[in-house]
Structure formats: structure tokens, C-alpha cells
A and B are shown apart, each in its own frame.
Chain A
Amino acid sequence: MKLIVGISDMKIGTKPDDELVTYSLGSCIGVAIWDPVAKVGALLHYMLPDSSIDKDKAEQKPYMFADTGVPRMFKEIYKYGALKERLKVYIVGGAQVMDDSGMFNIGKRNQMIIRKMFWKNNVAVTKEDVGGAVNRTITLKIGSGNVRLKVSGQGEVEL
């Protein structure tokens, strides 16, 4: 079944024919994780790096922010038998418009926080496609662990 992950959302796929997809990432980041043994995967679409700017929102929508959304996604997938050591991890998105002043550097801040979190927690990134000015769509197939990336202007490729 095709499961669509909206902005500030996360979904878990447990069936071989499940396909997780999140459209149009912009400055947001999509994080896909997949366990090849438990055959379970998750896809998160977070919009902002740090929940300290709005604690109420973080409570209503924990997947809006990297600092609240990423740990929660990992906790959720462990419930389905996934193990951290086995996880394949993909990050895509984090684009931004050109701005010397850095006011609109949300994409970059979104990239920086996840690198920091993964480094602290010993999570290795399998593959990534981040930055630039392109719009991205990512799909994770639960049966095969196949991750496909669609980039504005470049068509769809396997990540």
C-alpha cells in the first residue's frame, strides 16, 4: 500500500508491498530508515530544526522538528523489531533559496542538526542527497529497501 507522509509527519511501513512516499521537500528534510532483517521501514518529513522556537507546536506535532521528530521515529521503529545497528539511513532535502544574509538558510540548518544528532548517537548515513535549490520527492519500498529520489528537473533515480 502507498502511504503518503505529509509535512511534519512520520509513517512506518511493515508489509512487503508498503511504499512510503513524501512529496516536495523544499527546505524540509526527509529521513528514511529501513531494517533489512525485520523488513520494516519509516519515513519522516520534518520542516524545522529546533523545537525550542515553539514548544506547543512540538507537543501537537512532534514530527515538525528534527530534535523531537528524529528520536521519536527511531523509538517507534524499534517497536517493530528494528535494530539500530542494522538500519540503512537516508537523508534528502534541505534545499534553500540563495540568500547571503542567511535569513532563509532553513535548509542548511535542517541539514546541520541531523548530522549533529546522528554523529552524537553513532548513526551512519547510508546515502544522502541534500542542499542545492531543487525540490525533492523520496520513496521507500519496504519489501526491497529500495529508495528512489525524484528531483525537480532531473527525473527519478535510485538513491
Chain B
Amino acid sequence: MSRVAEILNIANHIPPFPKVAMQVMRMLDDPRVQAKDLAAVIQYDSAITANILKTCNAAYFGLPRKVSSLDEALVLVGQNILKDIIIASSSARFYQGEVGNGYQLEQGELWRHSVATAIMAKSISPHFRGVDPGAAFTTGLLHDIGKRFLSSFVASDFQRIMDRTYMDGVPFIAAEREILGMDHAELGSLILQKWEFSEEMIRAVQRHHDPLALDMEPLIALVAMANTLVISAGVGVGAGGLTGAMQGEGLKRFGISGADLERYLANLVLEMERAEEMMALSN
């Protein structure tokens, strides 16, 4: 089997995204759905239920009091936040263990990078007209899911990829594509496709390292900007370092200045401290 076929074969055998999460997402788009209908579905996934309670009580979401039951949580938490919590607790299971080894990411670092990007994506979303903050959060959280499954292939050709990157000056992601026949952004988009996420989200994952991403449609630009900032902050960067280009010019059409970027970075540090419980979900 060729390497690309081998990688695609792994992508085809990835477990489905939790059914309960997909079902709840659909229900949340229906304004007639009530908290008790949601509880009836969610209670069958014990991991999601436990995580909802854990994350609801986390400082990040700022609820006025501690919640102890699913019903109570669903009443107290707004629907938008509920979506984020469900997506985070459903995604965390894919980031457990030493999933970023091939990228020289320590255990938990790929998840930490993903949560930071999700938080950043959501906080910059008001600049991007027409982008739903929940979609921004979800795409931020899943943009590097391809790394999770490409990691072992990167590990087996690590030195060649590193030589291309640091001796020949080829961006790490381009070296992945050249040597493995597939890069993590492309693989990630195939996984999101298999999981039946929206076309818009699939494209944003696929293009998140494209140097012209900021000139493209809003969700692509948003995720690329969030990822670039989180990498600049050094959160979950790994072997690829800061290699690659991102043409910042495109941000101007969203009314975003260099000073804005710095303000968002300043916020990120505090928001990550408040999101410790979410960071711990993959443990």
C-alpha cells in the first residue's frame, strides 16, 4: 500500500464523532427544543454528562452558582455555551495520550493548543461578519485534528521532514506534504468531512496554513488568524516552530490592526488560566 493510501486508510477507520454531540448540535438549531429534550439525549453519554458538569462549574463560563445535575446545568447555561462545552467534551477523547509525539509535542500539548485556538477564535469572531461564534470555537478546536492521526507518520520520517524545513527552508507543513504525500490540514479536512461537519468548517481546516488564508472567506481567515496568534504565543507549537508564511494584509478588510492582535494575545493568557478545567478534559 502506498503511504497516502495508508494514511487515507487510517482516516477511514477513525471512530465517528460522538453521536450524542451531533444530535444535540442539530437540536440546538431548533428554537422549539427545551432543556428537558436535551437532557433526554445527553444523559446516555456518561462522558459528556460528566464533562458538562465539570466544565459548567469552571471559572471560564462564569456561572453564578455550582451546578450538580444535568437538568440544572442545561437550564443555567446558555445554548451557545452549551454547544462549546459539548464540542469540547466530545473532542477531548481524540486528544488523549501521547497524540502529538511525532510533532515533538508533549502529552496534552496538542489539546492545549486546540483549546487556546478555540478560545482565540471565539473572541475574535465579532470582527468576522456572518461567522457564528460557536462555529469559530468548534473549528478552532478541531483545526489540528489531522496532526493527531498524522503524528505517527511524521515520527517515522521525522529527520527528513526536519531537514527539509530547517536546512532547505521549506515550511514544515509543505515538507509533510512533500515527504508523506499528505499534510495535517488536508487530512484534518477529510476527517471533518467524514464526521459530517459543515463545508465551511471543512474548508477552514483545510486552509488554515495557506499564506493567503486571510484573504479568503471569513471562517478561513478567522481560524488562520487565531492559529497564527496562538503559535506566536508559543502554545503547543512543537517541531514545526513558526515556519511558514501568513500574509497579514488581508486582516485590514475585517478592520483588524496590529494593536488589536496584541490586545487579543494579552487576553489569551488570562482566558487560558480561566479555562484550566477545559484544558484538563483530555487527561
Listed in ascending order, the chain A residues whose CB lies under 8 Å from chain B are: 7-8, 23-28, 47-50, 53-54, 57, 60-61, 64, 95-107, 133-135, 152-154
**Interface extent on B, as a size class?**
35 or more
Partner among A27, A53, A154 whose Cβ is within 8 Å of the Cβ of B266: A53
Task: Give bound CA distance, A106 to B251, whole Å.
Answer: 15
Kindly list chain B residues whose C-beta atoms are within 8 Å of the C-beta of A134. 166, 241-242
Among residues of B, the one whose C-beta sits closest to the C-beta of A104 is B248
Kindly list chain A residues whose C-beta atoms are within 8 Å of the C-beta of B266. 47-48, 53-54, 57, 64
User: Is the CB–CB distance between B247 and A100 below 8 Å?
Assistant: yes
User: Is the CB–CB distance between B233 and A152 below 8 Å?
Assistant: no
Q: Does B40 contact A (CB under 8 A)?
A: no
Residue with the greatest number of chain A CB neighbours at <10 A, chosen from B236, B251, B261: B261
User: Is the CB–CB distance between B242 and A26 below 8 Å?
Assistant: yes
User: Is the CB–CB distance between A97 and B269 below 8 Å?
Assistant: no
Partner among A57, A102, A107 whose Cβ is within 8 Å of the Cβ of B232: A107
Contacting residues of chain B (27-58) with chain A, CB-CB under 8 angstroms: none
User: Is the CB–CB distance between A104 and B228 below 8 Å?
Assistant: yes
Kindly list chain A residues whose C-beta atoms are within 8 Å of the C-beta of B246. 97-99, 104
- If A7-B269, A26-B232 touch, whether A99 touches B245 (CB-CB below 8 Å) is yes
Kindly list chain A residues whose C-beta atoms are within 8 Å of the C-beta of B235. 7, 24, 26
User: Is the CB–CB distance between B265 and A47 below 8 Å?
Assistant: yes
**A and B contact pairs by CB, cutoff 8 A, 9 listed:** A7-B234, A26-B237, A50-B262, A53-B262, A95-B241, A96-B242, A101-B248, A152-B237, A152-B240
Contacting residues of chain B (242-283) with chain A, CB-CB under 8 angstroms: 242-249, 251, 258-259, 261-263, 265-267, 269-270
Among residues of A, the one whose C-beta sits closest to the C-beta of B237 is A135
User: Is the CB–CB distance between A47 and B233 below 8 Å?
Assistant: yes
User: Is the CB–CB distance between B165 and A153 below 8 Å?
Assistant: yes
Task: Give bound CA distance, A100 to B248, whole Å.
Answer: 8
Q: Does B226 contact A (CB under 8 A)?
A: no
Kindly list chain B residues whose C-beta atoms are within 8 Å of the C-beta of A102. 248, 258
* Top 10 closest pairs, chain A to chain B, by CB: A103-B248, A26-B234, A98-B245, A24-B234, A101-B248, A27-B232, A101-B249, A153-B166, A152-B241, A133-B242
Q: Does B101 contact A (CB under 8 A)?
A: no
- If A28-B233, A97-B228, A104-B232 touch, whether A152 touches B244 (CB-CB below 8 Å) is no
Q: Does B162 contact A (CB under 8 A)?
A: yes
User: Is the CB–CB distance between A103 and B265 below 8 Å?
Assistant: no
User: Is the CB–CB distance between A27 and B258 below 8 Å?
Assistant: no
User: Is the CB–CB distance between A106 and B242 below 8 Å?
Assistant: no
- If A135-B234, A153-B239, A154-B166 touch, whether A106 touches B262 (CB-CB below 8 Å) is yes
Task: Give bound CA distance, A96 to B232, whole Å.
Answer: 6
Task: Give bound CA distance, A152 to B244, whole Å.
Answer: 14
Task: Give bound CA distance, A11 to B276, whole Å.
Answer: 22
Kindly list chain A residues whose C-beta atoms are within 8 Å of the C-beta of B231. 26, 97
Kindly list chain A residues whose C-beta atoms are within 8 Å of the C-beta of B234. 7, 23-28, 135
CB distance from A123 to the nearest CB of B (A): 24
Kindly list chain B residues whose C-beta atoms are within 8 Å of the C-beta of A152. 104, 237-241
Kindly list chain A residues whose C-beta atoms are within 8 Å of the C-beta of B262. 48-50, 53, 106
CB distance from B175 to the nearest CB of A (A): 11
Kindly list chain B residues whose C-beta atoms are within 8 Å of the C-beta of A135. 234, 237-238, 241-242
Partner among A24, A103, A107 whose Cβ is within 8 Å of the Cβ of B251: A103
Task: Give bound CA distance, A48 to B162, whole Å.
Answer: 29
Task: Give bound CA distance, A40 to B198, whole Å.
Answer: 56
Give 19 A-B pairs besides A28-B233, A57-B270, A64-B266 with Cβ atoms closer than 8 angstroms.
A25-B234, A26-B231, A27-B234, A47-B265, A49-B262, A57-B266, A95-B242, A96-B232, A98-B211, A98-B244, A103-B249, A104-B232, A104-B246, A104-B261, A135-B237, A152-B237, A152-B238, A153-B166, A153-B239
